[in-house]
Amino acid sequence: MRARSTDTLSSFTVDVAFFSGDERYATETYSITASTWFTAQQQALQMSVSSPFDDPRVPDLRREATERPS
């Protein structure tokens, strides 16, 4: 038997910034439906690995997720 989830889903807008070292070179925006901001952030970061900006040739590549106010 499956347990019922009582979590309420909310819509989040998450910006994922792509950096080379300390220099931001791109930002992509993701619309995520999730139960918490943390879950939305993790989903957006996971989705961003398919971005053309997630290029392994970029030195010191890193990504950072921030919530955009709705």
Confirm if 44 and 54 have CB atoms less than 8 A apart: no
Give the per-residue pLDDT at 69: 72
φ, ψ for residue 14, nearest 5 deg: -120, 125
Q: How far is CA 15 from CA 1, 32, 49, in A?
A: 38, 11, 14
Domain boundaries, the chain: 15-68
pLDDT at 14 over 70: yes
pLDDT tens-digit readout, 35-56: 999 999 999 999 999 999 999 9
Q: How many CB atoms lie within 10 A of CB 44?
A: 24
pLDDT at 5 over 70: no
Closest CA to 69 of 14, 28, 26, 24: 14
pLDDT at 2 over 60: no
